[in-house]
Amino acid sequence: MFRFVRQGGVLLILSLLIFPAAQAATAFRGTEIERVLSRLSEEQAKVQTLQASFRQEKTVGLLAAPEVSTGTFVFSRPNRALWTYDQPKRVDMLVADGWMTTYYPDLRRAERIEIKKYEDRIFRYLGAGASAISDLDAFFEFQLVDTSNSPTYRLELTPRSKRVAKRVKQIKVWIDRESYLTTAFEYQEGDGDLTRYEFSGVKVNRPLPDSKFELSLPSSVRVETMAGSR
């Protein structure tokens, strides 16, 4: 697996914000979860662009209080996405044209990783391919929590093997009952650290200019190109 930059969990987040636009896995045939996943796939396959604000809360065992970050996210099919962290420090992470670029304005530094080898895999989980749910089903058990008085469904993914559980203990995804867009999700790492994302102000299929997916780096910024795999 290639080495991520400091926001190492962002590509996992990227993959879950727009849940896979795929047919429900065979294991779910004839169940309520199949109905939800099929509708989820149907609605999210229509998404060409997406914009949202996010709030990230990370609970780390060694810290007394959670770390909170806020910012915005934009996505354009088939393969461009930009995360902008506004608080507590500005960080831009762009995935486009086979590269992932992370820019730290305060440090006058940027990191680039070539991801062409992994791009299809990454954006398959953004709805650009047909086998993502089956892929996840190979590694996680799915459970649908359907509380009638809640505005969302909740999907809970639990690792099937100890090897996967060493990295991720559990993933939870909250899905709006009307739009079938992800409103929140959280994942617990193998060491117990917990990261939660909540999304608001979601806009779907609004025009996005190409300039939205460009990082203008000042000439004074030091750019480090990192190895794509290890």
CB 215 within 8 A of CB 93: no
123-136 b/e (C-beta count within 10 Å ≥ 16 → b): bbbbbbbeebbebb
For the chain, domain boundaries: 10-226
CB 109 within 8 A of CB 220: no
**Domain 10-226, CATH:** 2.50.20.10
pLDDT at 120: 61
CB 109 within 8 A of CB 118: no
The residue whose two tokens read 């090897």 is 163
pLDDT at 7: 42
CB 69 within 8 A of CB 85: yes
Tens-digit pLDDT string for the chain (230 aa):
233 333 444 445 444 444 443 444 445 555 788 888 888 878 878 889 999 999 999 998 777 788 999 999 998 988 888 989 999 999 999 988 888 899 999 999 999 988 877 666 555 544 433 345 556 777 888 888 877 788 999 989 899 999 888 888 998 989 899 988 888 988 898 888 999 999 999 999 999 999 999 898 999 999 999 865 44
